[in-house]
Amino acid sequence: MPLILALVRELAEYEHLSHEVVATEEDFRESLFGERPVAEALLGYAGGEPAGFALFFHNFSTFLGRPGLYLEDLYVRPGFRGSGLGVALLSRVAELARERGCGRLEWSVLKWNEPAIGFYESLGAVPMDGWTVYRITGEDLRSLAGRA
């Protein structure tokens, strides 16, 4: 869990979002290995050294009537970029999606992250134009839940 949290923090720093990381090792332990796991993680190593990770979870497409996988994070440490580790991690997630009968694999990328966009597009990924991601958190989430 310390390694996963460290990698998440490195990713957040790269994305200029360090202030948003409030997760703890216990949060990851529970979410990945608890009574009801809700996410999975792959760790990538190069020469025995931890070099990156992919974290993903199942979603569902009502249009396809099938599950999908959502890639929450894909991160390769700077010294290992260009080594093929990112392709290896993403390929393994895609392989898991196929093995599990998923209809799609999807993720979000920050609009300014041109290196990631170029990487994803080189693999055949396409942006979902016409869609906007919405999010509700914190007090607004509590308030909305209170209306149930």
Catalytic residues, by residue number, are: 120
Cα separation, 52 vs 115, in Å, equals: 16
Cα separation, 96 vs 99, in Å, equals: 5
Cα separation, 135 vs 148, in Å, equals: 18
Contact call for residues 80 and 67 (beta carbons, < 8 A): no
Contact call for residues 15 and 110 (beta carbons, < 8 A): yes
